[in-house]
Structure 1
Amino acid sequence: MPVVREFRLPDLGEGLTGAEVVRWMVEVGEVIAVDQAVVEVETAKAVVEVPCPYGGVVTARYGAEGEEIAVGAPLVTVAVASGVGFEVAVAGPGGSGGSGGSGAPGGPDAPGAAVERPLVGYGVAESRGVRRRRVGAAAVVAPAAVAAPVAARAVAAPVVVPVISPLVRRLAREQGVDLAGLIGSGPDGLIMRADVERAVAAGVAAPAAVTVGAAAGSGATVASGAPAAEQVVPLRGLRKAVAEKLGRSHREIPAATCWVDVDATELMALRRQLNATPGPKVSVLALLARICTVALARFPDLNSSVTADGSGIVRHSAVHLGFAAQGERGLVVPVVRDAQARSTEQLGEELGRLTEAVRSGTLTPAELTGGTFTLNNYGVFGVDGSTPILNHPEAAMLGVGRIVAKPWVREGELAVREVTQLSFTFDHRVCDGGTAGGFLRFVADCVERPGMLLRQL
């Protein structure tokens, strides 16, 4: 007889307390293999696939798409084989094997072993190739004492919409497009981003009448007593984590900001010279990242953080450089590990890789944590200056505005130069204004006279 195992949402790392269900990858009654991904969830850090350590028949799922599940709460239940009869029943018409494991006689995955497998990670590549199989009504008969409570707690299977990408679902949700009414242009009718964009252009939206219950299912609830046009959008996932982190930073860190206008003409000329030679292209961000690592070597107090109890300052030996990047999930800060040990080209390659991961929504939690200093290029938004909130618990952040042609006095004469504004926000507990001003002035001098970097290389 099968044994029903309950799989709970595991701790996905970095102290996360819950995750939002983005997409169920299996259905009730489906046969799954050991370590097959069963659900895609969005945490405060990334969208990840969660594999189940049990192989067998899915008997229940907990949580609808868009619902948040706490770490340790039930995720799915699986009827696991405990005898040869069950193994034969799920083997399929050919009777060629079970639903998971190596199938070696007497091995840990053999029928009857019922060995719990550890969770191996955020998703297993092999799980994408597993063919879904459904067990007929006569194939498996679970004990009534077990099946009844499981069925009572099971979540009704939602309408299956052929959408794989969580980014496409999010776009449709934000634009009010009803995916159930679309015909996908991808393989097997898969709904692509272009299909949603065409529907938006054509004015195809979800039904206009929104009740409290319907809004809750889509991630928003109508405020009690508020006009029909107003909605309260709950803070979940990334937005909730950002709100909590920025709020904590603003409350706990006595931050100060200083800034300076600099002539970036020579830096831009250097970039053009580098990109005129064979090899990877060098971005302005890569050059600024290299300048930051050199500056932090001269001013190590700024590559630090205050301890949780406020009793000391941790000075970090390595520069893990975070940089602000805008993706479809909002503003995130991926981290370049050991930036001080990378050349300008290597910095550029890693910045490019992480930026592409931001755009595709494939960043892992590890790539979004552990930063010690942040470089914020808000010039891409067409603005000159900013006074950003520090990325807690970091002690400093360098901001760069747009680089634009402006009149500039150089060597006593008026000229048109490429000018930008640098702003530097720092934790006043780790240093005083002299250290912050010295750091910013050094960075400005390197931007205006990039040849200075040769002394540091």
Structure 2
Amino acid sequence: MAQVLEFKLPDLGEGLTEAEIVRWLVQVGDVVAVDQPVVEVETAKAMVDVPCPYAGVVTARFGEEGCELPVGAPLLTVAVGESSAEPEGSGNVLVGYGTQAPAARRRRVRAAAPGTAAHNGRAVRPADDRIERPGPAPAAPARVTAPAPAPADGPVPVISPLVRRLARDNGVDLRRLAGSGPDGLILRADVESALRGQAEPVRTAPEPVVRTPVASSSQGGVRIPLKGVRGAVADKLSRSRREIPDATCWVDADATELMRARAAMNATGGSRISLLALLARICTAGLARFPELNSFVDTETREVVQLDHVHLGFAAQTERGLVVPVVRDAHARDAEGLTAEFARLTEASRTGTLTPGDLTGGTFTLNNYGVFGVDGSTPIINHPEAAMLGVGRIIPKPWVHEGELAVRQVVQLSLTFDHRVCDGGTAGGFLRYVADCVEQPAVLLRTL
């Protein structure tokens, strides 16, 4: 006898409690394999493909694209075929997350009649009763009894706010609809069916619109929700601005010799070295000399915690907003290793496949805003870090070199730092060391 198992949104780690459904990867009636990704979700950390731990036929999905679900909410149900005992999940890891292993005891789901799915132990009609079931013979069509419409008073069970809005905008009375979801839950398909005329929609009188006088400049705007990665970044930046008393110092540096050194490295063959990797190597050498900047403030104990490792973050702009991937143990990597890791994380940023481990735990940030064609900036520190080095564009400028005016490749460097962890002398010393290494890369040989 086929069993119908419910797959819930798993614990995504990092203290995350909810996720937004971005895109369903399967439809009701699809056959899925163990660990096959079934839905793409966005958390406050990253985009994640969620794999299903069961193999079988998808009998129901819960949640429309664009709605948010809490951890533990049902995602879908799967008919797993004939079995005398409940199948175990794979226990494998999600893309970037450690999924929970199958629980030692799980509430048994009562087997549903042919043509039905199970939800909370009750038989309910799936979205399509003509799906093929695993087995040698096709299942006979089930007789479907339409659920009763919603009661005249009390809340109407609707799967998401998007469905409620769709009904409201089109004048569909939800109380006159019979939901096809579990326990009469009204799905988007029910409202769309009513709009197509398959079920007679009941048009309600439009509610009076009360307009509050506003300035003409505020009319016709676009509202963009601060949620997911964008919302998490907004919260972090706001907290940084509230808590960290930051200050910024900057200096212009002649990067001509650094550019020549990079060209010489890449002329020898092998993997090409990126400019960002060389700047990262300079940063880690500078932090070894000025460890006060590789720290954070523990506000509960009122202590400055200096760290013995450098996890280097770098700002990356994506279509979904700003993210700061982290290069783990950057102090232990050479220029080739840093180049490779920057490339991997940049590609993951672009494709939306960064994991929480890629985005958390940074101790210092390198911000190359020169790629946007600007010279300088005073950025907001990436909380709870203590400092951020900014690098502007490298452009030809008149410069006094060896006592004569010459055209040199000049870059502006800036350091924004938490004034609680150090004073201007330490911050200025670090920035001057970085500038010296940019101007004379041989300075790095002292610390290699």
Would you say same fold, with TM above 0.5?
yes
What do you get for the CA RMSD once the two structures are aligned? 2.7
Task: Select which of 107, 123, 147 maps to 2:124.
Answer: 147
Aligned counterpart, 2:311: 320
Task: Provide the secondary structure at the position in 2 that maps to 1:267.
Answer: helix
Q: Compared with structure 1, are the counterparts of its residues 228 and 27 closer, same or farther at alpha carbon in structure 2 (3 Å cutoff)?
A: farther
Give the conservation status (yes or no) of the 8 Å contact 1:22–1:40.
Answer: yes
Deviation track 1:275-316 (CA, whole Å, cap 9, x = no partner) reads 111111112111101100100111111111112525222221
Give the conservation status (yes or no) of the 8 Å contact 2:24–2:39.
Answer: yes
What is the count of residue pairs matched by the alignment? Answer: 354
State the Cα distance separating 1:228 from its structure 2 match: 6.9
Q: Distance in 1 between matches of 2:228 and 2:20?
A: 7
TM (norm. structure 1) is 0.72
Give the conservation status (yes or no) of the 8 Å contact 1:289–1:375.
Answer: yes
Of 30-39 and 292-301, more deviation after overlay is shown by: 30-39
Aligned counterpart, 1:23: 23
Task: Provide the secondary structure at the position in 2 that maps to 1:117.
Answer: coil
Q: Compared with structure 1, are the counterparts of its residues 229 and 292 closer, same or farther at alpha carbon in structure 2 (3 Å cutoff)?
A: same
Q: Distance in 2 between matches of 1:157 and 1:456?
A: 65
1:448 aligns with 2:420: no
Q: Compared with structure 1, are the counterparts of its residues 142 and 41 closer, same or farther at alpha carbon in structure 2 (3 Å cutoff)?
A: closer
1:120 aligns with 2:97: no
State the Cα distance separating 1:271 from its structure 2 match: 1.1
Q: Distance in 1 between matches of 2:29 and 2:212?
A: 39
Task: Select which of 375, 391, 395 maps to 2:386.
Answer: 395
Deviation track 1:160-192 (CA, whole Å, cap 9, x = no partner) reads xxxxxxxxxxxxxxxxxxxxxxxxxxxxxxxxx
Of 346-355 and 396-405, more deviation after overlay is shown by: 346-355
Q: Distance in 2 between matches of 1:40 and 1:343?
A: 35
Q: Distance in 2 between matches of 1:326 and 1:57?
A: 39
Q: Compared with structure 1, are the counterparts of its residues 123 and 362 closer, same or farther at alpha carbon in structure 2 (3 Å cutoff)?
A: closer
Q: Distance in 2 between matches of 1:65 and 1:30?
A: 18
Q: Distance in 2 between matches of 1:60 and 1:26?
A: 10
Aligned counterpart, 1:415: 406
Q: Compared with structure 1, are the counterparts of its residues 265 and 310 closer, same or farther at alpha carbon in structure 2 (3 Å cutoff)?
A: farther
Aligned counterpart, 1:72: 72
Which letter maps to 1:237? G
Give the conservation status (yes or no) of the 8 Å contact 1:59–1:150.
Answer: no
Q: Compared with structure 1, are the counterparts of its residues 420 and 123 closer, same or farther at alpha carbon in structure 2 (3 Å cutoff)?
A: closer
1:350 aligns with 2:341: yes
Query: Which protein is bigger by CA-based radius of gyration?
Result: 2
Q: Distance in 1 between matches of 2:186 and 2:61?
A: 6
Q: Distance in 2 between matches of 1:55 and 1:449?
A: 60
| 1:300-339 equivalent positions in 2, closer than 5 A | 300-309=291-300, 311-339=302-330
Task: Provide the secondary structure at the position in 2 that maps to 1:242.
Answer: helix
State the Cα distance separating 1:28 from its structure 2 match: 2.5
Deviation track 1:90-113 (CA, whole Å, cap 9, x = no partner) reads xxxxxxxxxxxxxxxxxxxxx121
| 1:31-430 equivalent positions in 2, closer than 5 A | 31-81=31-81, 87=82, 111-117=83-89, 119-123=91-95, 139-141=114-116, 145-147=122-124, 150=182, 152-153=184-185, 155-156=187-188, 229-309=220-300, 311-430=302-421
Q: Distance in 1 between matches of 2:189 and 2:36?
A: 19
Q: Compared with structure 1, are the counterparts of its residues 441 and 158 closer, same or farther at alpha carbon in structure 2 (3 Å cutoff)?
A: farther
Q: Distance in 2 between matches of 1:145 and 1:358?
A: 43
Give the conservation status (yes or no) of the 8 Å contact 1:36–1:123.
Answer: no
Aligned counterpart, 2:199: none
Give the conservation status (yes or no) of the 8 Å contact 1:256–1:426.
Answer: yes
Q: Compared with structure 1, are the counterparts of its residues 154 and 33 closer, same or farther at alpha carbon in structure 2 (3 Å cutoff)?
A: farther
Q: Distance in 2 between matches of 1:272 and 1:34?
A: 49
Task: Provide the secondary structure at the position in 2 that maps to 1:146.
Answer: strand
Q: Compared with structure 1, are the counterparts of its residues 301 and 240 closer, same or farther at alpha carbon in structure 2 (3 Å cutoff)?
A: same
Which letter maps to 2:93? G
Q: Compared with structure 1, are the counterparts of its residues 11 and 410 closer, same or farther at alpha carbon in structure 2 (3 Å cutoff)?
A: same
Which letter maps to 1:153? L
Give the conservation status (yes or no) of the 8 Å contact 2:34–2:90.
Answer: no
Give the conservation status (yes or no) of the 8 Å contact 1:267–1:449.
Answer: yes
State the Cα distance separating 1:141 from its structure 2 match: 4.7
Deviation track 1:255-283 (CA, whole Å, cap 9, x = no partner) reads 11110111111111111111111111112
Give the conservation status (yes or no) of the 8 Å contact 1:60–1:154.
Answer: no
Give the conservation status (yes or no) of the 8 Å contact 1:38–1:51.
Answer: yes
Q: Which structure 1 segments of 5+ residues have no match?
A: 82-86, 88-110, 125-136, 160-222
Higher helix share: 1
